[in-house]
Structures are given as C-alpha cells and as structure tokens.
Amino acid sequence: MGRLFKTVANPFSRTALIMFAWTHRRTIMRWGRSFWTELTQPGRVDPKRITLIGKVLWAITRDPELAGARQLKHVRLDADRLVIDATPRWKGRARLVDTLSEIDGIGSITDERGHVLAGSIDATAA
C-alpha cells in the first residue's frame, strides 16, 4: 500500500495518470454512466446484467472509432433490449449495431425513443 501511494504521489506518475484519464475521458465516462445507471436501479443487482453491460462496453472500447465517439453517452439494459443513448444524427450507429449484434443475450438494440436501430446494409444482406 505504501508503494502504491509513493507511485501515485510521484509527480511523473501523477502526470501520466492524468494524461491517460484525459485521453480516455469519453470511454471512462461512458463506463461510469452505464454502470451507475445499472447499479442505482431499484431491486437487486443482477450479476448477469452487469456482465452483459461489461461485454457491451468492452466491445465498444475495442473499436477505436466507437471508443472515441463523443456522441455515444451510455448504454443500459431494459430486459433483453439494449438502449443506446446517443445523438440522433450520429453516423456511427450502423457500425455500433454491427459490433454489438454479435453479443449473446441482446435481443434488440434501440435508441432512447424505442426505435430499433439497424446495422449497415452489408451486414444485414444475406
């Protein structure tokens, strides 16, 4: 514990941590908002739902274009429906749906208004 404190107290380490947090601020806030929304819902915390949200957020974070998207605020689960909070005219929605549709446990992907989001034409063509 003392070593950790010394490492964080080091001005170079502290600067590196601050720069890392600033560079990845959108991803950190997205993870925080999504988990906060899930954990503050009334009732018991369901580990399966937390795991599914973690998988969704990890899939978003792995994609460099989606990870840095400022239009994507947070995600939440409503039964088996994944609700995406993003700006309405965001052009990355199709890529997001294509990325998240591969995750087991998600029945549909909708926006805040309840409209089902569609993936790209290439991904939906059989």
Please list, in sequence order, all residues whose beta carbon lies within 8 angstroms of the beta carbon of residue 14, skipping any fewer than 6 positions away: 8
Instruction: Please state the rounded mean pLDDT for residues 61-88.
Output: 90
| CB distance 98 to 120 below 8 Å | yes
Instruction: Classify residue 123 as exposed, middle or buried by CB count within 10 Å of its CB (0-12, 13-18, 19+).
Output: middle
> CB under 8 Å, gap of 24 or more: what pairs does 116-124 form?
117/84, 117/93, 118/94, 119/94, 120/94, 120/95, 123/94, 123/98
The DSSP output letter for 116 is B
Instruction: Please state the rounded mean pLDDT for residues 108-120.
Output: 86
pTM, rounded to two decimals: 0.81
- Position 124 scores a pLDDT of 46
Give the model confidence (pLDDT) of 27-64 as tens digits: 999 999 999 998 998 888 889 999 999 999 999 999 98
Q: Please give the order of strands across the beta sheet that includes 108-111.
A: 72-78, 81-86, 108-111
- Position 123 scores a pLDDT of 47
Higher pLDDT, 107 or 121: 107
Average pLDDT in the chain: 86
